[in-house]
Structure 1
């Protein structure tokens, strides 16, 4: 009768589960990258169907997710680019608004003078 090595068998089971988990996580990361979604521990864990603790405890997975998360943060979205443009153009917009206020104040002053003249003409008629 062949001897049964329980440790060897458990080690094989553990290695196969580990390989399955790694492939699940790899596929999940690929799907998230293709969909251009945010890559973080929560999104990868839910997409792969594994626990977050698994991702945190595995050093290679943890490093990979952290690297991808930083790369995703560095790439600006369209909304962020628009915000950056607005920040850069802020001074020009302020100057434009100042000129507009000055022009409107000048027009207002002219209208007040015209109103005074019109009141004077109405007063002379009485």
Structure 2
């Protein structure tokens, strides 16, 4: 015969709820840290930073919406790699402009020296 014993699961439920709240706090701190450091915010980064599973992030609808919203906000912003690439392109452009100016100056000087040499040759030719 089966006994009609009802299991007391209140303690387990409270413990699970407490763990969930602690994980949510870790996630919140991780997101704040990622925002301060201007790091990319996505599920992988938040999971690594907070130490919680990605499944927890995806299953908790409030956290999921927050991460997705922050990720969308960051789409318009330039990443550090993009900024660095743009800086590199700008520095390349300035180097090219400086080299072009130097080439123009050297070509001018070369022409002046050729003209001067031509005049000196003419003077030497006239003496003989």
Provide closer, same or farther for how the CA distance between residues 61 and 96 of structure 1 changes in structure 2, counting only shifts above 3 A: same
Q: How does 1:1-126 map to 2 (within 5 A)?
A: 3-6=6-9, 8-76=10-78, 80=83, 83=86, 104-124=106-126
Structure 2 unmatched ranges of 5 or more: none
**Length, aligned pairs only:** 120
Q: Distance in 1 between matches of 2:33 and 2:97?
A: 47
Please give the secondary structure, in 1, of the residue aligned with 2:73.
Answer: helix
How far 1:47 sits from its partner (Å)?
2.0
So what's the TM-score if we normalise by structure 1?
0.59
Q: Distance in 1 between matches of 2:41 and 2:76?
A: 12
User: Cα RMSD between the aligned structures?
Assistant: 4.1
So what's the TM-score if we normalise by structure 2?
0.59
How far 1:124 sits from its partner (Å)?
4.8
